[in-house]
Amino acid sequence: MNTINETHHADLKSWVESANIPGTDFPIQNLPFANFRRLQSNESFRLGVAIGDQIVDLAALAQAHLCSGIVQEALLAASHEGLNSLMGLGRPAWSALRLALSEMLRQSYANQQPIAACLIPQARVEYAVAAKIGDYTDFYTSIEHATNVGKLFRPDNPLLPNYKWLPIGYHGRASSVVVSGKNFHRPVGQTSPPGSTSPSLSVCKRLDLELELGIFIGTGNAMGQAISLEDAENHIFGICLLNDWSARDIQVWESQPLGPFLAKSFCTSVSPWVVTLEALAPYRAALPRPVTDPQPLPYLSSEDNNSQGALDIELDILIQTQAMRDASIAPSKLAQSNYRHAYWTAAQLVTQHTVNGCNLQGGDLFGTGTLSGPTADEAGALIEITEGGKKPVILPNGETRTFLEDGDAVTLRGWCQRAGFARIGFGQCTAQVLPARVI
Q: Is 198 in the site for a copy of itself (CB under 8 A)?
A: yes
Tell me the C-alpha distance between 386 and 403, whole Å.
8
What residues from 256 to 295 belong to the interface with a copy of itself (CB under 8 A)?
A: 256-263, 265-267, 294
Query: Which member of 70, 81, 181, 299 binds a copy of itself (CB under 8 A)?
Result: 299
28 and 105 Cβ atoms separated by less than 8 Å: yes
**Residue 331 in contact with a copy of itself, rule: CB under 8 A:** no
Q: Is 268 annotated as a binding residue?
A: yes
Is 138 assigned to a binding site? yes
Among 123, 178, 168, which residue's Cα sits nearest to residue 142? 168
196 lines the binding site for a copy of itself (CB under 8 A): no
Q: Say how many residues touch a copy of itself, by CB under 8 A.
A: 68
Whole-number Å distance between alpha carbons of 237 and 232:
11
CA–CA distance, 251 with 263 (Å, rounded to integer):
5
- Shortest Å distance, C-beta 44 to a copy of itself: 20
Q: Which of 56, 83, 104, 174 binds a copy of itself (CB under 8 A)?
A: 174
For the bound state, the minimum distance from the C-beta of residue 221 to a copy of itself, rounded and expressed in Å, comes to 10
Decide: 370 and 378 in contact? Cβ < 8 Å.
no
Shortest distance, position 84 Cβ to a copy of itself, whole Å: 13
**Contacts from 406-409 at CB under 8 Å and sequence distance 24+?**
406/186, 406/322, 406/433, 406/434, 406/435, 406/436, 407/321, 407/322, 407/325, 407/432, 407/433, 408/319, 408/320, 408/321, 408/322, 408/432, 408/433, 409/319, 409/320, 409/321, 409/325, 409/331, 409/433
Out of 32, 48, 52, 189, the residue judged to bind a copy of itself by CB under 8 A? 189
Query: 244 among the known binding-site residues?
Result: yes
Neighbours of 15 (CB within 10 A): 17
Listed in sequence order, the residues at least 6 apart from 435 whose beta carbon sits closer than 8 Å to its beta carbon are 185, 186, 406
Residue 425 contacts a copy of itself per CB under 8 A: no
Nearest distance, CB of residue 164 and a copy of itself, angstroms: 10
x/- track of binding to a copy of itself for residues 99-138 (CB under 8 A): -----------------------------------xx---
154 labelled as ligand-binding?
A: yes
Minimum distance of a copy of itself from residue 434's CB (angstroms): 8
State the Cα–Cα distance between residues 58 and 64, nearest whole angstrom: 10
Q: Contacting a copy of itself (CB under 8 A), which of 255, 301, 306, 417?
A: 255
List the catalytic residues: 145
The sign of the dihedral angle between the CA atoms of 92, 93, 98, 104 is: positive
CB of residue 243 to a copy of itself, shortest distance in Å: 15
- Name which of residues 40 to 59 contact a copy of itself (CB under 8 A): none
- Residue 303 assigned as binding residue: no
**ω into 92 cis (within 30 of 0):** no
Task: List, as residue ranges, the binding site for Mg(2+).
Answer: 244, 264, 268
- Going by the annotation, the residues of the binding site are 138, 140, 154, 210, 212, 244, 251, 264, 268, 370
Could you tell me which residues are annotated as the binding site for substrate?
140, 154, 251, 370
Give me the residues that bind a copy of itself (CB under 8 A), please: 134-135, 140, 150, 160-162, 165-166, 168-176, 178, 184-185, 187-190, 192, 198-201, 220, 223-226, 247, 250, 253-263, 265-267, 294, 297-299, 352-353, 355-361, 364, 434, 437, 439
